[in-house]
């Protein structure tokens, strides 16, 4: 399958990542104006990428439905004592007031990005982040640290999701199967064709523990529709 060219796309910018990247690069309390200036230049650079026509940006607000789903371990509980950049609040305010970034409530910026990707016509958006979780979304992606523009096919997006169910996500405190990293997960799924086979392979690796699989999958899943909760109900072993 040939990769389409990126033309007239809408950039979907992960504001959460930007705040931390720029914030920690200028972490001096006396350099607030410099931090704001750097953020502005950073966004200007993103929007100057060839093929970008418009943009929307998203920042995670209060509450997250995943916190109510997580029973095995607190969702992102490992971040409770993590330090934020000195200019965290200032940069968030700058993104919302100056650049019109949306403050997302009840879910994450990732979910808002995912919903927008699938609301827009196929191949008309470009996800801008460094978060590997977003690789479960189809279409154009731009890693703004590596300056890497790449394309994710729908079948690869789904495969990335099932791979994460096997490996878990330590950053978000989501458990995976013991002893399974990316290499072993890839091997488990390598002969699967289509989502049914991916699901069956993962369920088998979980020894048919559908409850544990479902909880972890729901925590990992990035929404494609408003209010969506991942469910395996359409699949049967």
Residue 236 has a CB neighbour count (10 Å cut-off) of 9
Per-domain boundaries in the chain? 9-153, 155-220
pLDDT, tens digit, for every residue of 1-26? 567 789 999 999 999 999 999 999 99
Distance CA 83, CA 78 (A): 12
pLDDT value of position 2:
66
pLDDT, tens digit, for every residue of 70-107? 999 889 887 767 899 999 999 999 999 999 999 999 99
Distance CA 16, CA 68 (A): 21
Q: Residue 204 is inside which H or E element, if any?
A: helix 194-205
Q: Which fold has domain 9-153?
A: Rossmann fold (3.40.50)
Q: Which of the listed CATH numbers 1.10.150.20, 3.40.50.300, 1.10.150.120, 3.30.465.10 matches domain 155-220?
A: 1.10.150.20
On the CB side of 235, how many CA atoms lie within 13 Å of its CA? Answer: 17
Residue of 100, 77, 107 lying closest to 174 (CA atoms): 77
**What pTM was computed for the model?**
0.94
């Amino acid at each position: 399958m040939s990769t389409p060219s990126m033309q007239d796309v809408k950039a979907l910018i992960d504001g959460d990542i930007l705040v931390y990247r720029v914030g920690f690069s200028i972490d001096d309390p006396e350099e607030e104006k410099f931090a704001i200036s750097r953020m502005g230049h950073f966004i200007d650079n993103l929007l100057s990428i060839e093929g970008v026509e418009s943009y929307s940006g998203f920042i995670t607000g209060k509450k997250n439905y995943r916190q109510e789903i997580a029973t095995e371990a607190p969702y992102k509980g490992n971040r409770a004592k993590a330090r934020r950049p000195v200019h965290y609040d200032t940069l968030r305010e700058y993104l919302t007031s100056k650049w019109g970034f949306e403050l997302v409530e009840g879910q994450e910026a990732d979910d808002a990005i995912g919903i927008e990707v699938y609301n827009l016509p196929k191949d008309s958006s470009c996800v801008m982040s460094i978060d590997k979780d977003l690789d479960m979304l189809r279409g154009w992606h731009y890693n703004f640290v590596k300056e890497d523009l790449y394309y994710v096919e729908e079948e690869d997006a789904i495969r990335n999701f099932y791979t994460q169910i096997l490996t878990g996500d330590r950053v978000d405190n989501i458990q995976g199967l013991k002893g399974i990293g990316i290499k072993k997960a890839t091997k488990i799924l390598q002969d699967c064709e289509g989502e049914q086979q991916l699901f069956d392979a993962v369920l088998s690796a979980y020894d048919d523990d559908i409850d544990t699989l479902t909880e972890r999958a729901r925590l990992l899943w990035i929404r494609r529709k408003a209010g969506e909760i991942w469910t395996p109900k359409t699949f049967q072993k």
